[in-house]
Amino acid sequence: MVYEEDRAQQMRDDLEAAIGDYMVAVAGRLLDEDLPVSSISSYGAYDDPGQDAFGADVEGSVEFTRSFRRKVFGEGRDAGLLWCGVSGWCFFSIPEGAGRTLMESARWMGGGLTPDPGRVAAFLSEIQLDSAFSGSDERPFYRAPHTDPKGLLQRLAVFDADRGSAESWDYDGRLAALRADACHKRAVSALTAEKQEIVEVALRSGELQAVMRILEYVEGAAPRDDAREMARKLCSDLRLRAGSGRKGLDEHREALTYAEEQR
């Protein structure tokens, strides 16, 4: 009996790992397309009876920043992408206080149980254009809940990371690294863009200090050296430019110089 439970737990863990790989792959593609992914989740308990109410079992999700959700889908909404191990991908958008479940609000992508990350990204692009009518409210079914976990594991194997390294199991850590890389790439692109205007922005001293504190946090927390160094140099430039007027643009430009080296 203990052996059976050990085997079941191993399968749960393996599915969670494989789903995590898939979520990281999709999140990475979305980050490549300049979308602000904030987090992912992975759930591998294929035998959980608590999912029966939704006709589901294992699942994963990709979440976005609140500012992105507010800008694209409106204030007061919980919105994101959910992967269901029975029905594939859907987009959900639930207004606060609506009393609706995620499944009731879902717009289903279709196209199979484990579509390529590029197809998921294309689906989200369609959703951004028209979230009410993109996808379908008809839920597809590609497998029965709680059945054939080995078969599902094999389907997910194509998204398998390098299992030889401990980092491959750390989904949040891998996502954090992808986010740091994407942020650094965008920062370099912004700093080195041609024909930049000089923008005058009125800031209270406390607001400037707040921006620098956040940059200091990034310097300490970012998982990549490039992102940490960029944050440090930007913070230094802002501190030295404060009160120096336009001449400070050319005198204090560590971040720009660093970005040009990274290009």
172 within domain boundaries: no
The first and second tokens of residue 160, run together, are 């398998």
Mean pLDDT along residues 14-37:
95
Mean pLDDT of 150-160: 93
pLDDT of residue 22: 96
d(CA 226, CA 223): 9
Segment of 8-12, 53-57, 247-251 carrying the highest mean pLDDT: 8-12
The answer as to whether 47 is a domain residue is: yes
| Residue 169: pLDDT over 70 | no
d(CA 57, CA 174): 25
Residue 151 and residue 234 in one domain = no
CB 39, CB 173: distance < 8 Å: no
Same domain, yes or no: 6 and 130? yes
Given a cut of 70, whether residue 154 has pLDDT beyond it is yes
Q: Using the 3D structure, point to which of 114, 147, 167 is the last residue of a domain.
A: 167
Q: What is the pLDDT of residue 162?
A: 61
Structure tokens at 42: 């992975």
| Same-domain status, 115 and 37 | yes
- In this structure, the answer to whether residues 81 and 195 fall within a common structural domain is no
User: Is the same domain home to 204 and 152?
Assistant: no
Task: Determine the pLDDT at residue 173.
Answer: 86
How, if at all, do strands 88-95 and 107-108 pair? Answer: antiparallel
Q: At what angle do helices 225-241 and 254-262 cross, to 10 degrees?
A: 150
pLDDT at 227 over 80: yes
Residues 156 and 192 grouped into a single domain: no
According to DSSP, the residues that pair with 39 across neighbouring strands are: 63
Q: Identify which has the larger pLDDT, 172 or 32.
A: 32
Q: Are residues 88 and 145 in the same domain?
A: yes
As a whole number of angstroms, the distance between CA 99 and CA 168 comes to 38
pLDDT classification of 71: cutoffs 50, 70, 90: confident
Quick count: other Cβ atoms within 10 Å of Cβ 208?
A: 16
Q: What are phi and psi of 261, to 5 degrees?
A: -70, -30
In a domain, 173, yes or no: no
- Domain membership of residue 212 (yes or no) is yes
Q: What is the pLDDT of residue 77?
A: 74
191 belongs to a structural domain: yes
Check whether 168 has a pLDDT greater than 60.
no
pLDDT at 165 over 70: no
Domain carrying residue 242? 179-262
Shared domain check, 153 and 191: no
186/147 same-domain check: no
Quick: pLDDT tens for 171-207.
888 899 999 999 999 999 999 998 888 888 888 889 8
Is pLDDT above 80 for 45? yes
| 79 within a domain of the structure (yes/no) | yes
One domain, residues 76 and 204 = no
Helix or strand or coil: residue 85? coil
Q: 78-82, 84-88, 161-165, 257-261 — which one is most confidently predicted on average?
A: 84-88
Residue 166's pLDDT is 47
- The pLDDT score that the predictor gives to residue 250 is 83
Contact 107, 127 (CB under 8 A): yes
Between 78 and 80, where is the model more confident? 80
Length of the chain: 263
Domain termination site, one of 114, 144, 167: 167
In a domain, 208, yes or no: yes
Write the pLDDT tens digit of every residue in 114-124: 999 999 999 99
pLDDT at 186: 92
Domain identity same for 210 and 115: no
Between 190 and 5, where is the model more confident?
A: 190
Q: Which carries the bigger pLDDT value, residue 212 or residue 2?
A: 212
Which ranges of the chain does DSSP label H, i.e. alpha helix?
A: 2-32, 66-73, 102-105, 117-129, 149-156, 171-191, 205-221, 225-241, 248-251, 254-262
pTM of the model: 0.88
Q: How many domains does the chain have?
A: 2
113 and 77 assigned to the same domain: yes
Question: Is residue 174 one of the residues assigned to a domain?
Answer: no
Asked which of 132, 167, 202 is the last residue of a domain, the reply is 167
